[in-house]
Amino acid sequence: MSEKIAVLGAGSWGSILANLLDENGNEVSLWSYNPKQVKELNEKHTNTHYMKDFTYSETLIAYSDLKQALTGATTVLFVVPTKAVRSVAGDVKKVLEELQTKPQIIHASKGIEQGTYKRVSEILAEEIPAELRKSITVLSGPSHAEDVAKRDITLVTAASTDADAAKHVQQLFMNRYFRVYTNSDVIGVEIAAALKNIIALGTGALNGLGYGDNAKAALMTRGLAEISRLGASFGANPQTFTGLAGVGDIIVTGTSENSRNYRAGDELGKGQSLQEVIDTMGMVIEGVATTKAAYELAKQRGVEMPITGAIYQVLYEGKDIRTAISDLMMREGRSEF
Ligand X SMILES: O=C(CO)COP(=O)(O)O
What residue ranges bind ligand NDP (CB under 6 A)?
9-14, 32-34, 50, 79-82, 84, 87-88, 108-111, 143-145, 283-284, 286
How far apart are the C-alpha atoms of 258 and 253, rounded to whole Å? 8
Strand 27-31 with 178-183, pairing: unpaired
**Nearest-CA neighbor of 219 among 193, 198, 190, 233?**
198
Stretch binding ligand X (CB under 6 A), from 26-34, 121-129, 214-222, 258-266: 258-266
The listed partner (ligand NDP, ligand X, none) that binds 14, CB under 5 to 8 Å by sort, is: ligand NDP
Query: Is residue 286 part of the contact set for ligand X (CB under 6 A)?
Result: yes
80 touches, from ligand X, ligand NDP, none (C-beta below 5 to 8 Å by class) = ligand NDP
Task: Using CB under 6 A, pick the residue from 252, 268, 297, 321 that binds ligand X.
Answer: 252
Question: Applying CB under 6 A, which part among 112-120, 229-237, 255-263, 308-316 lies near ligand X?
Answer: 255-263
Per CB under 6 A, 216 contacts ligand X:
no
210: Cβ contacts below 8 Å, ≥ 6 apart: none
From the list 107, 168, 216, 260, which residue makes contact with ligand X (rule: CB under 6 A)? 260
Cβ proximity to ligand NDP: between 20 and 88 the closer is: 88
Pairing of strands 178-183, 4-8: unpaired
Residue 233: CB minimum distance to ligand X, A: 23
Q: Which does residue 190 bind out of ligand X, ligand NDP, none, counting CB within 5 to 8 angstroms by kind?
A: none
Classify 7 as helix, strand or coil. Answer: strand
Closest C-alpha to 11, from 229, 285, 307, 314: 285
The annotation status of 143 as a binding-site residue, yes or no, is yes
13 appears as a binding residue in the annotation: yes
Up-side HSE of residue 112: CA atoms within 13 Å toward CB? 30
Binding mask 293-332 for ligand X (x = CB under 6 A): ----------------------------------------
Contacts of 87-96 spanning 24+ positions with Cβ under 8 A: 88/8, 88/9, 89/123, 89/124, 89/127, 89/128, 90/127, 91/66, 92/8, 92/66, 92/127, 92/128, 93/127, 93/128, 93/129, 93/132, 95/66, 95/67, 95/70, 96/70, 96/128, 96/132, 96/133
Q: Which residues contact 105 (CB under 8 A, 6 or more apart)?
A: 75, 76, 78, 124, 128, 133, 134, 135, 136, 137
- The one-letter code for the residue type at 185 is D
| Span 119-158, contacts to ligand X by CB under 6 A | 142-144
Residue of 44, 83, 196, 292 with catalytic role: 196
Partner whose binding site includes residue 252, from ligand X, ligand NDP, none (CB under 5 to 8 Å by kind): ligand X
CA separation, residue 330 to residues 211, 220, 299, 324, 336 (Å):
17, 18, 21, 10, 15
User: Which of 136, 169, 200, 245 is in the footprint of ligand X by CB under 6 A?
Assistant: 200
Min dist CB 142 to ligand NDP, Å, is: 9
> Is 39 an annotated catalytic residue?
no
Q: Which is nearer to ligand NDP, 204 or 321 (CB)?
A: 204
Instruction: Name the minimum Å distance from CB 90 to ligand NDP.
Output: 11
User: What 3-state DSSP class applies to 66?
Assistant: helix
Neighbours of 109 (CB within 10 A): 28
So which residues are the catalytic ones?
196
Which residues does the annotation place in the binding site for NADPH?
Answer: 12-13, 50, 110, 145, 260, 284, 286
Which residues does the annotation place in the binding site for sn-glycerol 3-phosphate?
Answer: 110, 141, 143, 196, 249, 259-261
- Which residues of this chain interact with ligand X, rule CB under 6 A? 110, 142-144, 197, 200, 249, 252-253, 259-261, 286
